[in-house]
Amino acid sequence: MGKIIVESMTHCEAEVVTKEIPRTDDYEKRIKTILETMRMNKFQAVVWDGETYLGGTWYDPVRQKWTAEYKDYLWQDASEFQND
């Protein structure tokens, strides 16, 4: 497996910030926590495992809410956030 990379855009969309997540025992929990933090703070982000898309955050114009996704699980509210 490749490296876990989180890419996030600044609010003005002028810059992309990249963070590498080490593969420790709790890396999936860390990724979900990062995605929830990005969603709550209204940042666009994507998470990659090498060239494979794992999830991200974006503004959903239909529901008018910020959405986060990790693998096949989507949430739009902190009460829906599962971090097990």
One pLDDT digit (tens) per residue for the chain, 84 residues? 568 999 998 877 788 999 998 888 888 999 999 999 999 999 999 999 989 999 999 999 999 999 999 998 999 998 888 877
pTM of this prediction? Answer: 0.88
Give the separation between CA 23 and CA 67, rounded to whole angstroms: 25
Which residues are bridge partners to 17 per DSSP? 8
* Domain chopping of the chain, boundaries: 4-80
Q: What six digits make up the tokens of 80? A: 């829906």
φ/ψ bin of 42: left (φ > 0), alpha (ψ from -120 to 50), beta (otherwise): left
Q: In the structure encoding, which two tokens stand for residue 13, read together?
A: 């969309």
